[in-house]
Amino acid sequence: MKKLLRISALMTAALMIFIMIGCGGDEEEKDTTPPELKSASPASGATLPANATITLTFSEKMGSVTVSPGTATLGADGKTATVAPAGEWPAGALTISVNGSDVAGNSMAAASLSYTVTASDKEAPKIDDGACNPKNGATGVDPAAVNEITIVFNEPMAAAKLDAAGDLEGKVSAEFDKNKTLKVSFLGGYKLGNEMEVKLTISGTDLAGNALATTTYSFTTMKKEG
């Protein structure tokens, strides 16, 4: 009987150890990596209109972001924040300090951004027709030479997007580079044909929040030879 009790006790102890090890293995690793400020748009060192906003991008989701001077508002993705002045940025040299912590509570190393502030920007941005590829409004474009469409603006933009693609709807995707360019790529190996009118409708705002004045980009491909 004593032998059975000893065996039972040993089995119970072994089971308890197994349970403890198993439970310990299920624990999630705590995030101890501090977040980093990956980029700012406009980049530090740029010239900034007095009524401009700045977009910050972080290495991971943030729980809080603070700036001085100005106010930071976290985006829906948690990895970006928009920095706006209280009224307008003061003219001349501007230094903005950035602090914050991620959702796990890890504090980031303090960062600073430097700008030269100029007069407020009240003018609406436009498409820079000649800088686009193909040029906005171009005719006789060789479709075989168009691997992607590049729409360029005449000033840095806070946001830009493709709203409608006409005959190319569902065949293209657009990516904004957070500066002056909106790139439109073809999906699934799609190729333009001859005698096509490409017409894209876009929208956007510049750093001061002014809406895009020209919202249509277009070109026409060349006729078939012979």
Domains of the chain: 37-118 (2.60.40.1220), 129-220 (2.60.40.1220)
**CA 17/CA 33 separation, integer angstroms:** 31
The kind and range of the H/E element at 99 are: strand 92-102
Tens of pLDDT, residue by residue over 27-68, are 567 889 999 999 998 999 999 999 999 999 999 999 999 999
Q: How many other C-beta atoms can be found within 10 angstroms of the C-beta atom of residue 198?
A: 22
Tens of pLDDT, residue by residue over 68-109, are 999 999 999 999 999 999 999 999 999 999 999 999 999 999
